[in-house]
Amino acid sequence: MATEQSQNLSPATVAMPAPTVWPLVLALGAALIFAGIMSSSIVTLAGAAILLVGAVGWWRQVFPFDHHEAIEVEGQAGPLASPAAIPVVHLRVGRQSSKIRLAQQGTPWMAGLKGGVVGAIAMAGVALFFGFVIRGSIWYPINLLAAAAVPSLASATVDQLKEFSSLGLILGSIIHVSTSLLVGLVYAVMLPMFPRKAFWWAGVSAPILWSGLIASTMTLINPALSARVDWRWFVASQLAFGLTGGYVIARAERIEERENWPLAVRAGIDAPGVERPGEK
Regarding whether 120 and 223 lie in a shared domain, the answer is: yes
> Which has the higher per-residue pLDDT, 75 or 235?
235
Give the integer Cα–Cα distance in Å for 151 and 30. Answer: 33
The reply to whether 91 falls in a domain is: no
Which of 39-43, 44-48, 92-96, 240-244 has the weakest average pLDDT?
92-96
Whether 15 has a pLDDT exceeding 70, the answer reads yes
The reply to whether 60 falls in a domain is: yes
Regarding whether 234 and 261 lie in a shared domain, the answer is: no
Regarding whether 240 and 261 lie in a shared domain, the answer is: no
Give the integer Cα–Cα distance in Å for 252 and 108. Answer: 8
The reply to whether 181 falls in a domain is: yes
Whether 257 has a pLDDT exceeding 80, the answer reads no
Range of the domain at 209: 109-255
Regarding whether 200 and 135 lie in a shared domain, the answer is: yes
Give the mean pLDDT of 251-278.
59
H/E element, 83: none
Give the mean pLDDT of 96-123.
73
Whether 120 has a pLDDT exceeding 80, the answer reads yes
The reply to whether 9 falls in a domain is: yes
Whether 126 has a pLDDT exceeding 90, the answer reads yes
The reply to whether 54 falls in a domain is: yes
Whether 2 has a pLDDT exceeding 90, the answer reads no
The reply to whether 280 falls in a domain is: no
> Which has the higher per-residue pLDDT, 85 or 235?
235
Distances (CA, A) of 197 to 1, 89, 93, 202, 251: 24, 42, 43, 10, 9
pLDDT in tens, 132-174: 998 889 999 998 888 878 878 877 888 888 899 888 899 989 9
The reply to whether 98 falls in a domain is: no
pLDDT in tens, 67-77: 777 777 665 54
If pLDDT is split at 50, 70 and 90, which confidence band does 7 have?
very low
Regarding whether 179 and 76 lie in a shared domain, the answer is: no
In the chain, how many domains are there?
Answer: 2
Regarding whether 211 and 165 lie in a shared domain, the answer is: yes
Give the mean pLDDT of 31-46.
79
Regarding whether 261 and 231 lie in a shared domain, the answer is: no
- Cβ contact 175:149 at 8 Å: yes
Regarding whether 158 and 33 lie in a shared domain, the answer is: no
Of 193, 195, 184, 186, nearest to 244 (Cα)? 184
pLDDT in tens, 214-232: 877 777 766 767 788 888 8
Give the mean pLDDT of 7-35.
76
Of 162, 210, 154, nearest to 187 (Cα)? 210
pLDDT in tens, 172-213: 899 999 999 998 888 887 777 666 666 677 778 788 878 877
Regarding whether 136 and 50 lie in a shared domain, the answer is: no
The reply to whether 99 falls in a domain is: no
Give the mean pLDDT of 252-274.
59
Regarding whether 155 and 72 lie in a shared domain, the answer is: no
Give the integer Cα–Cα distance in Å for 217 and 210. Answer: 10
Regarding whether 197 and 216 lie in a shared domain, the answer is: yes
Regarding whether 238 and 262 lie in a shared domain, the answer is: no
- pLDDT, mean over the chain: 75
Q: What pLDDT was estimated at residue 14?
A: 73
